[in-house]
Amino acid sequence: MASSIRQTVKQIVETSDTWAGKTFDIFIQLLIFASLADFCTRTLPNLDPSLRSGLQVFEVVAVTIFTIEYSLRVAVADRPHRYMFSFYGLIDLVAILPFYVSLGIDLRALRAVRFFRLFQMFKLMRYSNAVKRYMRALRDIREELIVFTFWAFMVLFFASVGIYYFEGDSQPEAFGSIFHCMWWAIVTLTTVGYGDVYPVTVGGKLFTAVILLVGLGFVAVPTGLFASALTKESS
Amino acid sequence: MASSIRQTVKQIVETSDTWAGKTFDIFIQLLIFASLADFCTRTLPNLDPSLRSGLQVFEVVAVTIFTIEYSLRVAVADRPHRYMFSFYGLIDLVAILPFYVSLGIDLRALRAVRFFRLFQMFKLMRYSNAVKRYMRALRDIREELIVFTFWAFMVLFFASVGIYYFEGDSQPEAFGSIFHCMWWAIVTLTTVGYGDVYPVTVGGKLFTAVILLVGLGFVAVPTGLFASALTKESS
Amino acid sequence: MASSIRQTVKQIVETSDTWAGKTFDIFIQLLIFASLADFCTRTLPNLDPSLRSGLQVFEVVAVTIFTIEYSLRVAVADRPHRYMFSFYGLIDLVAILPFYVSLGIDLRALRAVRFFRLFQMFKLMRYSNAVKRYMRALRDIREELIVFTFWAFMVLFFASVGIYYFEGDSQPEAFGSIFHCMWWAIVTLTTVGYGDVYPVTVGGKLFTAVILLVGLGFVAVPTGLFASALTKESS
Amino acid sequence: MASSIRQTVKQIVETSDTWAGKTFDIFIQLLIFASLADFCTRTLPNLDPSLRSGLQVFEVVAVTIFTIEYSLRVAVADRPHRYMFSFYGLIDLVAILPFYVSLGIDLRALRAVRFFRLFQMFKLMRYSNAVKRYMRALRDIREELIVFTFWAFMVLFFASVGIYYFEGDSQPEAFGSIFHCMWWAIVTLTTVGYGDVYPVTVGGKLFTAVILLVGLGFVAVPTGLFASALTKESS
């Protein structure tokens, strides 16, 4: 009898074949989204106090439901320990733990630990299957990606050192050390170009021009790698 | 006899095989462009009053012709209702409706409803055939695009939350809540980088650097998907 | 005898098989580069007067040589008229004509007509063969490019109209008419993002976010098309 | 006996098959990273004097080890001269030479010569094998890349000349000569868009819009080339 209930709960919690299982899945997903929206909204300054307390009540409700869900998953798992130390098991735990931890300590610390609630989002990945195709494409170009990453860091480093020699003296605020220059290098090579730091000397501008023409590979190489891997994968 | 006229009109309006049909098509297309240009020009401030009234007269003429076109299309259609509720039928209606609606209400409201006139542009798609190839390529990568969109939103969300913790205190104007930070995240990850908001703390800059290197996929992944789908499609 | 000289000159001017022909080609190419450098340098403000007159002398020498080259090409061509009205024949003429035209008219007009001297650069293309492969790839994706261009203009137009309604009232300087907004739209969708104009209202920012996510195709689509065409071409 | 020691050292220095050889390799790699970090840290302004002298001591130690490594590599090489004039041999030398040179001359010159220490980074490439695949892909598209580079310079040049005529008069500071305009052109066409220079006239904005739409190829073409080459390579 107890085993029959456990079997029913297991079917609802772990699979989404039945009507109940599907409803449970969709309910949890919607609750994750609502919980994330709650999380974002509470960072708004000048929030109405009554709305703020409403959102706090909602958080308690949401965490309670996530705790029940976690307990059920542990209870119905064939090997509870295996689930608890699996990728999703740890995420399920990390998503609820900060709430309980924060009850014991002072309120300012709340802010930092609540960051982990975001891991709830990963739960949604459980419901997606197409992720695997991306993973396979990524695995195919693993070695090339590592070499590209190394090359990217080398270009970043050379760009930082070069601009330091050209701009270091004329703009000590923005290009005062190689570490300062790295901020410029990353913003420039990814073509974001905020405009908070940019070269002003002739030498610095010439150097930037050369680096930018070489740095087109920053976007071209990973894109080409990905296109190639996906073409191979799908054919 | 009436049926013969209807047949001739049908041929002109619905097909572009004959000389008359082709002329009709080109005339309607040119009128759409002229109507859109009229629409844009009238938003110019400090417009000469006589030019403004001239543009208003042109609008009346254009809408009248579009109304006649719509009536003819309804009249000659084999199943009028089917045309009226088809994609292009609705666009044809939406493109002329705001003009008549705006006559009855106050002038300020004009501005908002006129937005729908833009749907005229979609009419041009009726004349293009190559669109289908794109549609097929898009359908091939439908699932991958959905996963990518989800991933993109996740990166956007993580970036927003992260930068909120690093910059929220030092720049309350620009990074005051997670919703504020999302503006920064979208402008940064698409590499637009207006420069209206950017991190100033060391932690915020380091975090941005990491997010940007991961976020290269923001451009690389859809490009790779598209290149792969088009390569498969054309071979 | 005259025919023999003509034959030798023809070989030097039109082909680059012999030592003399190769030298002639390289000399003309170097002169084009020198002439362009001369052109750029003379736009520098606060230029030393003696250097400026030296550059002017060089221009006279260069144009004289280009004139001799053009005369020789006309003289040795099997069908002079055919060469004169060919693509390169017209460029050769357009590259030297402004100099002679400017002698007769006032000096201010010089500036505008000299622009055509840049067509000299196209001459260099004569010496390149690999251009053809690009041309073939471009021809393969001709139709897709036209549809993409149409789509790009549609997105640009929608973005401009949309932002006009959101930002037109709060930033009349930058978003005062749909034409003003088009500048914002092109700078944003190509991800340049100078930062001279950007939305400040919540509605405008939300609209920009949506447009940017859709507008990723602005870079993704032509890249994908090109990658696909080149893959097909090379296999 | 001496020959046996030489054989053992050769195995350690030149190969990484044995435990000792692998350890030696990893040790040298870590020392390169540490040396680069030392180099960057010493550019920080307001550095603690005791930390600065510590970093200087570390530099002496690191260069001593690199010198020993270089001597060993020369000693055990089958043909010492061949190693000394090989790519890595020259880098090994260039990485240590500046230190010794700088001891003799005045301290200000130190700064410039130390730049060559960065070539140490190239040493890491010795340990990577996947680089070859990139090299092969690059060789496959060598000719296309040259043509693209030429085209890119032509677009840059045309953009610079065009914007000079449109913006030269209204913004003499930023667009005062064609060389000034080239800075704008490179920042715009690579879509970095710092925002330090941008067109303000209607003509200049229209010209920029046209150049940007054509200039999408700046990113699209090399990406497409790379994607195509990698697809061919991997299949």
**Region C41-54 average pLDDT:** 87
Within 13 Å of residue B176, how many CA atoms lie on the same side as its CB?
Answer: 7
Q: How many CB pairs under 8 A join A and C?
A: 10
**Region C156-177 average pLDDT:** 89
The pLDDT, as a whole number, for residue D107 is 45
Q: Are the beta carbons of B191 and D195 separated by less than 8 Å?
A: no
Structure tokens at A124: 């949604």
Of A48 and B100, the structure prediction assigns the larger pLDDT to: A48
pLDDT digits (tens, 9 = 90+) for D9-22: 888 887 777 888 88
- Res. A38: pLDDT tops 70: yes
- Res. A112: pLDDT tops 70: no
End-to-end CA distance of chain B: 52
Q: Are the beta carbons of D226 and A220 separated by less than 8 Å?
A: yes
CB D168 within 8 A of CB D175: yes
Classify burial at A79, counting beta carbons within 10 Å of its beta carbon; exposed 0-12, middle 13-18, buried 19 or more: exposed
DSSP D186: H
Q: What is the 3-state secondary structure (H, E, C) of C127-158?
A: HCCCHHHHHHHHHHCHHHHHHHHHHHHHHHHH
Which chain C residues are closer than 8 Å to B45 by Cβ? 172, 176-177
**Region B172-199 average pLDDT:** 92
The pLDDT, as a whole number, for residue A157 is 86
Question: Which one of D191, D194, D227 has the shortest CB-CB distance to B227?
Answer: D227
pLDDT confidence tier of residue D110, bands split at 50, 70 and 90: very low
CB C211 within 8 A of CB C155: yes
- Res. A178: pLDDT tops 80: yes
pLDDT confidence tier of residue A1, bands split at 50, 70 and 90: low
- Res. D169: pLDDT tops 90: no
pLDDT digits (tens, 9 = 90+) for A128-157: 666 777 888 888 888 788 878 878 888 888
| Closest chain B CA to residue A230 | B228
Chain B nearest CA to A13, separation (Å): 23
Percentage, residues of chain D above pLDDT 90: 18
Q: Which range in C101-105, C183-187, D39-43, D152-156 is most confidently predicted, on average pLDDT?
A: C183-187
Q: Are the beta carbons of C213 and B112 separated by less than 8 Å?
A: no
CB A185 within 8 A of CB A163: yes
Chain D touched by A161 (CB under 8 Å): yes
How large is the angle between the packed helices D178-189 and D142-167, nearest 10 degrees? Answer: 120
From the list D215, D206, D220, the residue with the least C-alpha distance to D153 is: D215
Q: Which of residues 91-150 of A touch C (CB under 8 A)?
A: none
Question: Which one of A191, A195, A223 has the shortest CB-CB distance to C195?
Answer: A195
Q: Who's near A21: CB < 8 A, 6+ residues apart?
A: A11, A12, A13, A14, A15
From the list A72, A111, A113, the residue with the least C-alpha distance to A95 is: A113
CB B80 within 8 A of CB B111: no
Chain D touched by B33 (CB under 8 Å): no
* Torsion, Cα of B32, B36, B37, B40 (10° steps): 170
Q: Best interface-test mutation with D: which of C33, C46, C126, C230 has the largest number of D CBs within 10 A?
A: C230
DSSP A173: T
Which chain C residues are closer than 8 Å to B234 by Cβ? 140, 228-229, 232
**Region A108-120 average pLDDT:** 52
Of A71 and C132, the structure prediction assigns the larger pLDDT to: A71
How large is the angle between the packed helices C131-140 and C217-234, nearest 10 degrees? Answer: 110
Q: Who's near B40: CB < 8 A, 6+ residues apart?
A: C160, C177, C178, C179
How many angstroms separate the CA atoms of D30 and A157, rounded?
A: 17
Within 13 Å of residue B213, how many CA atoms lie on the same side as its CB?
Answer: 18
CB C38 within 8 A of CB C59: yes
DSSP string for D15-37: --SSHHHHHHHHHHHHHHHHHHH
From the list B54, B124, B129, the residue with the least C-alpha distance to B95 is: B124
Q: Are the beta carbons of B220 and A218 separated by less than 8 Å?
A: no
**Region C41-58 average pLDDT:** 88
Range name among B129-133, B177-181, C1-5 with the lowest pLDDT average = B129-133
DSSP A169: T
Q: Which chains touch A (3 or more CB pairs under 8 A)?
A: B, C, D
Considering just the CA atoms, what is the radius of gyration of chain B in Å?
25
DSSP D168: T
pLDDT digits (tens, 9 = 90+) for D151-168: 888 888 889 988 988 898
Q: Best interface-test mutation with A: which of C223, C225, C234 has the largest number of A CBs within 10 A?
A: C223
Evaluate the CA torsion angle C43, C49, C55, C60 in order and state its sign: positive
**Region A29-44 average pLDDT:** 84
How many angstroms separate the CA atoms of B106 and B94, rounded?
A: 20
The pLDDT, as a whole number, for residue C108 is 44
Question: Which one of B147, B178, B193 has the shortest CB-CB distance to A128?
Answer: B147
| E-strand stretches of chain D | none
The pLDDT, as a whole number, for residue D90 is 79
CA distances from B193 to A126, A206, C182 (A): 34, 22, 18
pLDDT confidence tier of residue A11, bands split at 50, 70 and 90: confident
pLDDT confidence tier of residue D131, bands split at 50, 70 and 90: confident
Question: Which one of B147, B217, B219 has the shortest CB-CB distance to A131?
Answer: B147
pLDDT confidence tier of residue D204, bands split at 50, 70 and 90: very high
Q: Are the beta carbons of A198 and D194 separated by less than 8 Å?
A: yes
CB A217 within 8 A of CB A223: no
**Region C14-21 average pLDDT:** 80
Of A201 and C149, the structure prediction assigns the larger pLDDT to: A201
Of C81 and D142, the structure prediction assigns the larger pLDDT to: C81
Centre a 10 Å sphere on the Cβ of residue C108 and count the other Cβ atoms it contains.
Answer: 7
pLDDT confidence tier of residue B206, bands split at 50, 70 and 90: very high
pLDDT confidence tier of residue A87, bands split at 50, 70 and 90: confident
- Res. A208: pLDDT tops 90: yes
Q: What are phi and psi of D196, to 5 degrees?
A: -80, -30
Q: Are the beta carbons of C118 and D158 separated by less than 8 Å?
A: yes
pLDDT confidence tier of residue C202, bands split at 50, 70 and 90: very high
Read off the amino acid at residue D12: I
Chain D touched by A183 (CB under 8 Å): no
Dihedral-angle region of residue D15 (phi above 0 means left; psi in -120 to 50 means alpha; beta otherwise): beta
**Region C95-122 average pLDDT:** 58
CB D228 within 8 A of CB C205: no
pLDDT confidence tier of residue D207, bands split at 50, 70 and 90: very high
Q: Are the beta carbons of D216 and C230 separated by less than 8 Å?
A: no
The pLDDT, as a whole number, for residue C235 is 53
DSSP string for chain C: -HHHHHHHHHHHHH--SSHHHHHHHHHHHHHHHHHHHHHHHTT-TT--HHHHHHHHHHHHHHHHHHHHHHHHHHHH-SSHHHHHTSHHHHHHHHHHHHHHHHHHS-HHHHHHHGGGGGGHHHHGGGG-STHHHHHHHHHHTHHHHHHHHHHHHHHHHHHHHHHHHHHTTT-TTTSSSHHHHHHHHHHHHTT---SSS---SHHHHHHHHHHHHHHTHHHHHHHHHHHHHHHHHH-
| Closest chain C CA to residue D226 | C227
Range name among B118-122, C193-197, D12-16 with the lowest pLDDT average = B118-122
**Region C113-127 average pLDDT:** 55
- Res. D196: pLDDT tops 60: yes
pLDDT confidence tier of residue B149, bands split at 50, 70 and 90: confident
Angle among Cα A121, A127, A129 to the nearest 5 degrees reads: 120
Q: Who's near B74: CB < 8 A, 6+ residues apart?
A: B80, B83, B84
Structure tokens at A195: 């405009």
**Region B193-200 average pLDDT:** 92
Chain A touched by D172 (CB under 8 Å): no
Read off the amino acid at residue B223: T
Mean pLDDT of chain D: 81
CB C214 within 8 A of CB D208: no
Of D181 and A113, the structure prediction assigns the larger pLDDT to: D181
Which chain A residues are closer than 8 Å to D124 by Cβ? 150
From the list B75, B81, B66, B70, the residue with the least C-alpha distance to B5 is: B75
The pLDDT, as a whole number, for residue B129 is 61
Chain D touched by C227 (CB under 8 Å): yes
Chain D touched by A155 (CB under 8 Å): no
**Region A199-226 average pLDDT:** 86
Q: How many CB pairs under 8 A join B and D?
A: 11
Of C35 and B234, the structure prediction assigns the larger pLDDT to: C35
Q: Which range in A90-104, B40-54, B84-98, B110-124 is most confidently predicted, on average pLDDT?
A: B40-54
How large is the angle between the packed helices A19-41 and A2-14, nearest 10 degrees? Answer: 60
Q: Looking at this predicted complex, what is its ipTM?
A: 0.84
Chain D nearest CA to B188, separation (Å): 12
Q: Best interface-test mutation with D: which of B197, B223, B232 has the largest number of D CBs within 10 A?
A: B223
3-state secondary structure of D48: coil
